[in-house]
Amino acid sequence: MPRLATSVLGSIALTLGLVACSPPPTETPPVDNAVHSVAPALSDDAADVVIPDGVIGTAELTSASGHNTISGTVVITAGGDGFDVALKDFNSDVPGGMQLFFSPWSETTTCLADMYNFSFGKLSTDADQLGLSLGDRDFSRGDPSYYLTAVITASAPGTTDPDGCALTPRAFGTITWDVPDTRPGLLAVDTGIRVGAGGTTTADAAALSYRAVAGDTLNDIADRFGITDDDLGFLNPLTSRQLQAGDDLNLRVALRGGASVPPPWT
C-alpha cells in the first residue's frame, strides 16, 4: 500500500472549519449583497469528467548527476476504481534500495523530495515495479495531474546533502499527462465580501487567489466565488490543514498544485 512520506502534509484535502489561532476582527466585515460581477452557477458534480481507463501519464527517468546511472520509465494508468503506477525497465547502480516519489514541483527545485510528495515506498533495484497504487478514483478529486515530477532517491540516506536536503534526488523525470479537463467551465468569480468570506483577492480578468481573514469558512469562501466546497479542494490539492487567517487559496485551474504553492526551499 502506498504511503505519504512522513514529512508530507496530510492527505491533500481541504479541511472544513472556522479559522483558528487568530483573534476575531474587531469589526465584522460588512455584508455586501451587491453583485460585482456575474458568477457562474454552482458546479454540478454530475458534470465532472471522469478520466477514462488507460495510460494517462509517463515520465522518462534521467540520472541527476554523473556519479550514478539510473534509468526507467514511469507509467501512470487509470483503471477500475483507481490510479496505478508502474516503473518499467528500471536499472540503477546506486547501492541499496531506492524510493519513488511524485512531486508537484519541477526537477530544478531544491530539496525536491523532502516535502509535499507522494511516496511509493522502497523499490527493488534493477527490476520492474508493477502494481504501485496512486490511490482510488477519489484521490486528488479524481485528477492527480498536478504532480509534475517523478523523483528517485536512496532509501536510507545517512546524512543531509550539501543543500541541506534529507533525501537527495538521484534521478528525475518530468511527468507528461494525457488527461481531459475534469472540471470543464470551472471558474471562480468574485461576487463580493460577505460574513465568512471577508478576505481579499488578487486578480486580472478573473480571481487568481484569495487571502483568508479571521472568521472565514471554506463554505462561505466557495459561495463567494460561485463554486462548491469540492471545487475549492480541487483547486488547492496541497492544502491539508485547518484554514488560518493569512492563508492563500488558489482560484485558478491552471495554477493548481505546485504552481500556486511555493516550494519549501527557495
Fill in the DSSP letter of residue 10: T
Which residue stretches of the chain have pLDDT < 50?
1-46
Fill in the DSSP letter of residue 215: T
**Cα–Cα distance, 147 to 120 (Å, whole number):** 14
- What is the per-residue pLDDT for 205? 67
- What is the per-residue pLDDT for 125? 66
The reply to whether 266 falls in a domain is: no
Q: Which domain holds residue 234?
A: 3-48+183-259
Q: DSSP string of 43-85?
A: P-GGGPPPPPSEEEEEEEEEESSTT--EEEEEEEEEETTEEEE
> pTM here?
0.79
Task: Give the residue carrying C-alpha cell 475534469.
Answer: 182
pLDDT tens digits for 241-264? 789 999 999 999 999 999 988 887
For residue 263, the number of C-alpha atoms closer than 13 Å in the C-beta half-sphere is 17
Cα R_g (the chain), whole angstroms: 20
For residue 150, the number of C-alpha atoms closer than 13 Å in the C-beta half-sphere is 27
Q: Are 104 and 116 in contact (CB under 8 A)?
A: yes
The reply to whether 265 falls in a domain is: no
Q: Three cell numbers at 116? A: 509535499
The reply to whether 73 falls in a domain is: yes
The reply to whether 264 falls in a domain is: no
Same domain, 218 and 159: no
Same domain, 162 and 189: no
Same domain, 95 and 111: yes
Report how many domains make up the chain: 2
Q: DSSP string of 160-211?
A: --TT--SS-EEEEEE-EE----SSTT--------BTTB--EEEESSSEEEEE
- How many other CB atoms are found less than 10 A from the CB of residue 235? 27
Same domain, 173 and 196: no
CATH number of 76's domain: 2.60.40
Pick the last residue of a domain from 177, 205, 235.
177
231 burial (CB, 10 Å; 0-12 / 13-18 / 19+) is: buried
- Name the maximum alpha-carbon separation found in the chain: 65
Task: Give the residue carrying C-alpha cell 491533500.
Answer: 12
Same domain, 60 and 168: yes
- What is the per-residue pLDDT for 39? 41
Same domain, 143 and 242: no
Fill in the DSSP letter of residue 217: B
pLDDT tens digits for 123-142? 876 678 888 999 999 999 99
Same domain, 20 and 81: no
Q: Are 80 and 67 in contact (CB under 8 A)?
A: no
Pick the last residue of a domain from 177, 196, 220.
177
